[in-house]
Amino acid sequence: MLGALMGTLNSFQKQNRQNKTTVEKRAEIDARIKEKVAKEKEEMEADKERLDRERREREEEMKIANEKETVRFVLMA
C-alpha cells in the first residue's frame, strides 16, 4: 500500500515538474513574441515617419516648381 502511494506521489511530482517547465517555456516564448512585436511596431512607426517626411518634401518641391512656372508664365504674357 505504501509503495502504491509513493508511486502516485512520484508520478504527481514528475507531472508537476513537467508542467512548470512547460509554463516557463511558454513564458519565454511569449516574452520573445512581445519583444518582436514591439520591435516591428517601432520599425513601422519609423517607416511611416520617413514616408510622411518624403511626401511633404515632394509636395514642397512641387509647390515651388508650380510657383516658378506660374511666375514664368506671368512674365512671358
Place of cell 511611416: 48
Q: What angle do CA 39, 44, 46 make, to 5 degrees?
A: 95
Q: pTM above the 0.85 mark?
A: no
Q: Band of the pLDDT at 76, cuts 50, 70, 90?
A: low
Question: 7 versus 65: which is more confidently predicted?
Answer: 65
Average pLDDT (44-53) is: 98
Q: Is the pLDDT of residue 75 over 70?
A: no
DSSP state of 77: -
Q: What is the pLDDT of residues 9-48, one digit of tens each?
A: 788 787 878 877 888 999 999 999 999 999 999 999 999 9
Cell of residue 49, nine digits: 515617419
